[in-house]
Structure 1
Amino acid sequence: MKIISSFILLISLSFLNAQEVAYQGEWDNYSRWTTFEGSWKIVKSENGHKLLLGDDFEAKKAPDLKIFLSKAKLDDIGSKNALKIGEPVLVAKLTNYKGKAAYDIPSSIDVSKYQTIMVHCEEYNKFWGGSDLK
């Protein structure tokens, strides 16, 4: 009986930790001069959404990399206009350059209104890359 109770508890805990994936994809590197690759997903959380970077994530370090959501299509975004079109909103400052990481998306952001997730170096106005929200 103790084994069955432990098994039921384990199954219950795994369902509590399951996260509903709202969007997921692979990063598209914009520049051949930077490293920017790997997977990501946006999951629903208690307070809204959370961005999760995969084990395979890797980005070349830069002084001011930030994650944004944009209403513009990825194909329309470049270094000169990344923060000028698509009403971009700041999600978080990129603090991890390799491997898994998690970033809370502010609850004031309605993720469903955006088409693209992107990373941009604000200090040098350099677009690292992005991905379509799908």
Structure 2
Amino acid sequence: MKKGFLIMIILMVSCYLVFAQECYRNIDSFLMAPGGYDIYGTGSISEDENGQLIVRFDSNFNTAGGPDVHVFLSKTFTAPNDNNPDKLEIGILQNTTGAQSYIVPSNVNIADYSWVLIHCITYDHFWGGGMCGGLIGNCTASGIDNHNPLPPQLLCIKGTVFINNLPDNTSAISVYDILGQRILVQNFNKGSSPSDYGLNLQNHKGIFFLHLKAAGIETTYRFVLN
């Protein structure tokens, strides 16, 4: 009887956390440099489970094309040319539109740079760039302790994702797909968040990101929905 009950539970469970929350910084928007070009979209710089830093532009990224256009990290919103000593080139701009990613050298810490910039090297023409936001998630691997809560427990039954052990004072729950599109959001009034909550994600499958805001701390967890 007990064995049959366990098999039934396993069949009902259709999602699981892939790993503890990663450390990342959002790029909420891009700025055009004086004399530069419009840059639209969002992005992020994140550290994966192996400690590798990756800069990502989301699917809504869009800017003008040009010759010899490169992507840089920088400590300031200054043209990343020879007059800027605090820059690091991370690659040629792969595309003027759409999602793309850039590997950051292993000796760089996620907190070292504040801007992701786009610049034409040949003609020294500064497109613009995006500011990296505050640290979010589990950043202890980088030597940064931002006091993250224990991860929640997820259980999926018939298209509903049940979240157990929500952090105290959770103010918002958001779910994003792999392309960075938000598919669900739930806000809570101050002091009214429950310890457990269910999200209706019927007809959704794949890799998703659960984003929690609680008591001034933001954490993100990646999970798979089968």
Taking structure 1 as the reference length, what is the TM-score of the superposition?
Answer: 0.77
Aligned mates of 1:61, 1:17 — CA distance in 2: 38
Aligned mates of 2:28, 2:85 — CA distance in 1: 20
Bigger fraction of residues in helix:
1
Please state how far the C-alpha of 1:110 moved relative to its aligned partner.
2.5
1:37 is aligned to: 40
Q: Which structure 2 segments of 5+ residues have no match?
A: 1-5, 134-226
Please state how far the C-alpha of 1:102 moved relative to its aligned partner.
1.5
Q: Which amino acid in 2 is paired with 1:36?
A: I
Cα distance change of structure 1 residues 20 and 112 upon mapping to structure 2, 3 Å threshold: closer
Q: Is the 8 Å Cα contact of residues 121 and 127 (structure 1) preserved in structure 2?
A: yes
**What do the CA deviations read for 1:70-126 (whole angstroms, capped 9, x no partner)?**
122x2xx24xxx321242111121112111112111212223122222111101111
Q: Is the 8 Å Cα contact of residues 31 and 38 (structure 2) preserved in structure 1?
A: no
Q: Is the 8 Å Cα contact of residues 38 and 54 (structure 1) preserved in structure 2?
A: yes
Cα distance change of structure 1 residues 33 and 129 upon mapping to structure 2, 3 Å threshold: closer
Partner SS, residue 108 of structure 1: coil
2:11 pairs with 1:27: no
Cα distance change of structure 1 residues 124 and 32 upon mapping to structure 2, 3 Å threshold: closer
Aligned mates of 1:106, 1:87 — CA distance in 2: 15
Select 1:4's aligned residue among 6, 9, 16. Answer: 9
- The RMSD of aligned alpha carbons is 2.4
2:126 is aligned to: 127
Bigger fraction of residues in strand:
2
Aligned mates of 2:97, 2:53 — CA distance in 1: 21
2:199 is aligned to: none
Partner SS, residue 9 of structure 2: helix
2:73 is aligned to: 69
Q: Which structure 1 segments of 5+ residues have no match?
A: none
Aligned mates of 1:3, 1:24 — CA distance in 2: 43
1:57 is aligned to: 61
Runs of 4+ in structure 1 displaced over 6 angstroms?
none
Q: Comparing both chains, which one has the higher relative contact order based on Cα–Cα distances under 8 Å and sequence gaps of 6 or more?
A: 1
Please state how far the C-alpha of 1:33 moved relative to its aligned partner.
6.1
**What do the CA deviations read for 1:33-79 (whole angstroms, capped 9, x no partner)?**
6342111111112242111111210011111111111122x2xx24x
Identity of aligned residues (%): 19
Q: Which amino acid in 1 is paired with 2:52?
A: G
1:16 is aligned to: 19
